[in-house]
Structure formats: structure tokens, C-alpha cells
């Protein structure tokens, strides 16, 4: 990229909105047809295409929904962390019977998702403004899928990655349910966090979503391990129905 192209690209960025909430700076940037949520730096927390609102722009979000190969027809899902709402929005569109809850502790993130990221307003999709660590033990519902995607400026905070919190999440899963977690690998603590997942759950898979940054973990207390042949078959069916390349992504799946 030439210097002129770089300067033009930088100029094309437009800061639409920013605020600070509990020490976290929440920003919404616009580039052409895309809107990005950032937390005071250049790391894209969420990306939304106004021309294609149900497209999962960031690779990590596509690998998060790869968790559907373990639970292809979910009836309930819990999201810990909202961002711009890409994953619950995609699931809301593709699974008309799915009931979802989202827990987000930062009110400004919720406001940004509603104002700038076309987050759905629907009785099937409930957003709770609360600290996940405090509210998880109070939840009475059980979920088929739980998506752990709670991030600060530079990765997931310690309080949502430790063993005690993982055990609390485990109690919220249905017997055959799966936890899908987005872990950041550049801060040096990924190996420790993955070890905590391995000691908490009976099954653990991982998939690298990009060359550096995001590795997605998939965990369950279900002791019955699915054969790769079966997972590939499910991935083809999901790809046919949802126009997302599940079969390509499954090639990066590793059993831990």
C-alpha cells in the first residue's frame, strides 16, 4: 500500500461516537459501509456491514458459530459480552425458534449496539445489563450454547476466565450443551486459560481463527466424543442451510 493510499484510508475513517464508561472508552468508527466498535485503540471489537447486516465480518465471529457443529439445532443460547452483537444477530436471523440472552456489564456498549449496529429488538433476544460474574450464579435457565466473548481493551478479563467462573458457567449448560469461548493469544496467558478449560470440561476442542490473535475453544461436559466423520457431515448440512463455510473451518478444528 502506498503512502497516498494509506493516508486516504485513514481519512476515510470517521469517528461517529465515543464515550467513557467505568474506565472503558467505547468508540464507533465508520469506514465506507462498515461500522467498527473499538475500546480506545485500533483493535476491532466488532464490525458491522450496513450493506450486509447478517454477514459475520470478523473471522473470529465465524469460528464462534462453528460451535454449531456440536449443537446444530439449538433452542437456547447465552452470550457473555455483547460488543456490536454480531453473533446473536446472526443466530437470531438463522434460527427463528432460538431464545437468546445476552449479559453485558457496560451500558455504553449496549447503547452503541442499539444505536449504530442495528441490534434486533425482539422478545426472543433479551439483553441484561449486569456483571456476568455476579448474575451467572443466579440464572435458573439452562442453555444449549453459551458464547463467552467478554473483552476489555486487550483481551478477556481475569474474572471471566478463571476456573471458578468456568465452573459457574458449566452449571448453566444443558447436559449436552457446549461452551464456546474467544481467547486472545497475544497477551501471553492463553496456555494458562486453555489449561483451566481442560481441567473443567470433559471435552475440549480448539480452532485458530486467524494467524495471530484469536483461538476459539469449544468445551462440554458431555463425555460422548463425536467422530470427525459425523462433524464433517453436520458441517456440510449447516453450510447448505446457512451459507457459511463450516466445512472449510472444520479443517482447523483440533481435539485437545
The residues spanned by each domain of the chain are 3-49, 59-255
User: Which has more confidence, 4 or 204?
Assistant: 204
Phi, psi of 181 (to 5 degrees): -125, 140
Mean pLDDT of the chain: 92
191-204: pLDDT as tens digits: 999 999 999 999 99
Whether 103 contacts 132, CB under 8 Å: yes
How far CA 160 is from CA of 145, 147, 193, in Å, comes to 17, 12, 10
Question: Residue 150 and residue 147: Cα distance in Å, rounded?
Answer: 9
* pLDDT above 70: percentage of residues in the chain: 94
pLDDT in tens, 59-74: 999 999 999 999 999 9
Q: Is a pLDDT exceeding 70 seen at residue 2?
A: no
Average pLDDT over residues 213-242: 95
Q: Helix, strand, coil proportions of the chain in percent (round to 5)?
A: 35, 30, 35
Q: Which fold has domain 59-255?
A: Rossmann fold (3.40.50)
> In the predicted model, is pLDDT for residue 154 greater than 70?
no
C-beta separation of 89 from 157 below 8 A: no
The pTM assigned to this predicted structure is: 0.94
Q: Measured between alpha carbons, how far is 178 from 230 in angstroms, rounded to an integer?
A: 17
How confident is the model at residue 158, as a pLDDT? 73
C-alpha separations of 53 from 1, 57, 72, 164 in Å:
28, 9, 22, 36
Region 117-141: mean pLDDT is 95
Rg (CA), the chain: 18
At residue 84, the pLDDT reads 97
CB 142 within 8 A of CB 76: yes
| 186: helix, strand or coil | coil
Cβ atoms of 182 and 61 within 8 Å: the answer is no
Amino acid at each position: 500500500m502506498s503512502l497516498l493510499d494509506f493516508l486516504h484510508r485513514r481519512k476515510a475513517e470517521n469517528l461517529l461516537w465515543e464515550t467513557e464508561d467505568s474506565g472503558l472508552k467505547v468508540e464507533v468508527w465508520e469506514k465506507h459501509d462498515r461500522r467498527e466498535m473499538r475500546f480506545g485503540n485500533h483493535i476491532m471489537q466488532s464490525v458491522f456491514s450496513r450493506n450486509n447486516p447478517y454477514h459475520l465480518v470478523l473471522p473470529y465471529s465465524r469460528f464462534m458459530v462453528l460451535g454449531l457443529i456440536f449443537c446444530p439445532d439449538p433452542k437456547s443460547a447465552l452470550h457473555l459480552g455483547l460488543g456490536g452483537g454480531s453473533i446473536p444477530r446472526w443466530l437470531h436471523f438463522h434460527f427463528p425458534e432460538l431464545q437468546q440472552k445476552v449479559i453485558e456489564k457496560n451500558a455504553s456498549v449496549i447503547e452503541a449496539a442499539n444505536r449504530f449496529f442495528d441490534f434486533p429488538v425482539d422478545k426472543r433476544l433479551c439483553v441484561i445489563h449486569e456483571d456476568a460474574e455476579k448474575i451467572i450464579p443466579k440464572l435458573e435457565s439452562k442453555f444449549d450454547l453459551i458464547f463467552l466473548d467478554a473483552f476489555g481493551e486487550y483481551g478477556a478479563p481475569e474474572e471471566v476466565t478463571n476456573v471458578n467462573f468456568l465452573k459457574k458457567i458449566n452449571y448453566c449448560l444443558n447436559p449436552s450443551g457446549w461452551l464456546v469461548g474467544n481467547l486472545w493469544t497475544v497477551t501471553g496467558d492463553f496456555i494458562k486459560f486453555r489449561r483451566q478449560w481442560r481441567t473443567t470440561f470433559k471435552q475440549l476442542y480448539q480452532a485458530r481463527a486467524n494467524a495471530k490473535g484469536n483461538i476459539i475453544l469449544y468445551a462440554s461436559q458431555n463425555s460422548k466424543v463425536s467422530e470427525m466423520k459425523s462433524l464433517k457431515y453436520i458441517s456440510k448440512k449447516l453450510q447448505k442451510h446457512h451459507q457459511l463455510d463450516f466445512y472449510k473451518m472444520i479443517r482447523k478444528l483440533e481435539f485437545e
